[in-house]
Amino acid sequence: MQQIQNGVWPTMITPFADTGEIDYPAVQRLLQFYHRRGAAGVFAVCQSSEMFRLELEERAALVRFIVEHAPDGIQVVVSGHVADTLEEQVREAEAIMCEGVSAYVVLPNRFAAEDEDDETLIANMEAFLAAFPSVPLGLYECPYPYKRVLTPQVLQACVASGRFLFIKDTCSELSQIKEKLRLLEGTGIKLYNANGATLLESLRLGAAGYSGVMANFHPELYAWLCRHYRDEPEEADRLQQFLGVCSLAEYQYYPVNAKYGLSLQGVPMRMDSRVLDPDRFAESKRLEIRQLVELAAYMRETLHIAAL
């Protein structure tokens, strides 16, 4: 199976045109932005992509467009199954998977309801894997419709399957991350932390990189941290303080605020969203994002990151 690259994997947002349809020229500009800013790959059709509000045909078409237009060197992992039943999830995945995707990412919370045990989750996951015997896979602790963090039992079942390459971890707790990394040691499965505040310590523990919301604001800073946390530890500590505070923006008005921030950085797109009303993105919130963009530019100068 193809190896997944270490580094930064933005959780791709989905731009929309004034017609309400996906704005594909903006998607292409977004891919170029990620590439220029040092991303190793992209995680497409995830919660940041508003996948629960995209029709199946839209999810499938979006994946194919992203794979076709991803710049050289950018890998693509995708998700997109949102149904409740295993049969429907398999049907959705069949429609979404395509050649050129480095891994198809499954959601543990789709394999078991919140009140169901790990045995149910593992049985449904194994049935899903059997339906796609040759497809490389990833795991995503998606927070919606409820967060199902991987337990040691589930993680050990994933390791035993020999099918997984990629984990997007959203637990935000270093003790859990440390235990997961212990269980993953030597397996070839790479863990990507979604939490900005714990990122540096997780890298020092063995995480492979960052895959989270804030890579839609300043991915180049996360890329610098992933590359230089060993050889420039003091600068890495200072940058971590900055990134930890900035990560509060994901609780502000995301993904509308990310679309606004990207437009300020040469990636024009509308702020339209299917999950939030852009008209409620207040002027004070816009000012916060403008200031965040300016602060990130200052940090780039401090770290001598070339103009982008």
List the domain boundaries for the chain.
7-302
Cα separation of 283 and 68, whole Å? Answer: 37
Q: Which CATH number is 7-302 given?
A: 3.20.20.70
Cα separation of 149 and 157, whole Å? Answer: 14
pLDDT tens profile 89-147: 999 999 999 999 999 999 999 999 999 999 999 999 999 999 999 999 999 999 999 99
Residues assigned a catalytic role: 140, 168
Residue 67 has pLDDT above 70, yes or no: yes
Amino acid at 105: V
Q: Determine the pLDDT at residue 279.
A: 97
Q: How confident is the model at residue 69 (pLDDT cuts 50, 70, 90)?
A: very high
The size of the chain, in residues, is 308
Residue 2 has pLDDT above 90, yes or no: no
For the entire predicted model, the pTM comes to 0.96
For residue 7, give the DSSP letter: E
The sign of the dihedral angle between the CA atoms of 32, 37, 40, 45 is: negative
